[in-house]
Structure 1
């Protein structure tokens, strides 16, 4: 059976937790916010406090990033660090959330609709 990208995203969405942009904005938690878009996309505008780890390298870089890896206290497991991911429309972040869960991260959410829905809801987009 051959799957399309849409099939993969739909399957991922059945296995992850998605939150709306307004849910994240109302309670941003003490979490790591990861924008999984490409650096050029990130530069066009992103959610404040987001770190950019592109989807294509996420699985290779997430453990080493100081925002995720708890370097101050090695006794604490970084796999329990709350993580919220987003992309442009939610597809890449759904796939990213699923793979982070597969890697053992226990508290992962994806922003449904991505930054497109975020901006449509009138929520702030920043450029650094």
Structure 2
């Protein structure tokens, strides 16, 4: 008899170029502070800071620190995370895996690599 083992979901690393070339890119969440996000961010990126994601793991705080759109996401919806240099986004990605998300991507190199690659950015909210 063969046993089937389900391996737990893993964070998948993508370069900024790989992310932008996907036929249907995942929802992109920028985990930097509001101030950093306002200076420049990837088009279509939504800001949700790392501290809010981490505090959202507490069931008592979840509804106060996580926006409704995030709380209502399907755990199977693909999510990509980006920060400035890819130091915060891996922490956020691991937290989402722990929270039950099954398709989590980390943008390696962060926004610094995004800019270096010549990809478009936006300013403001």
TM-score by length of 1: 0.76
Q: Indicate which of 101, 105, 108 corresponds to 2:101.
A: 105
Provide closer, same or farther for how the CA distance between residues 109 and 68 of structure 1 changes in structure 2, counting only shifts above 3 A: farther
CA distance in 2, matches of 1:65, 1:49: 18
The 8 Å contact of residues 50 and 92 in structure 2, kept in 1 or not, is answered as yes
Q: Indicate which of 36, 39, 61 corresponds to 2:31.
A: 36
Tell me if 1:79 matches 2:79: no
Q: Which runs of 5+ in 1 are unaligned?
A: 1-14, 71-77
Q: Which runs of 5+ in 2 are unaligned?
A: 1-9, 57-61
Provide closer, same or farther for how the CA distance between residues 28 and 51 of structure 1 changes in structure 2, counting only shifts above 3 A: farther
CA distance in 1, matches of 2:97, 2:114: 23
Would you identify which runs of 4 or more consecutive aligned residues in structure 1 move more than 2 Å? 28-31, 61-65
Q: 1:63 deviation in Å?
A: 6.1
Which residue of structure 1 lines up, in the alignment, with residue 72 of structure 2? 69
Highest Rg: 1 or 2?
2
Which residue of structure 1 lines up, in the alignment, with residue 40 of structure 2? 45
Tell me if 1:92 matches 2:69: no
Provide closer, same or farther for how the CA distance between residues 26 and 68 of structure 1 changes in structure 2, counting only shifts above 3 A: farther
Which residue of structure 1 lines up, in the alignment, with residue 50 of structure 2? 55
The 8 Å contact of residues 36 and 93 in structure 1, kept in 2 or not, is answered as yes
Tell me if 1:119 matches 2:122: no
TM-score by length of 2: 0.77
Partner-residue secondary structure (3-state), 1:80: coil
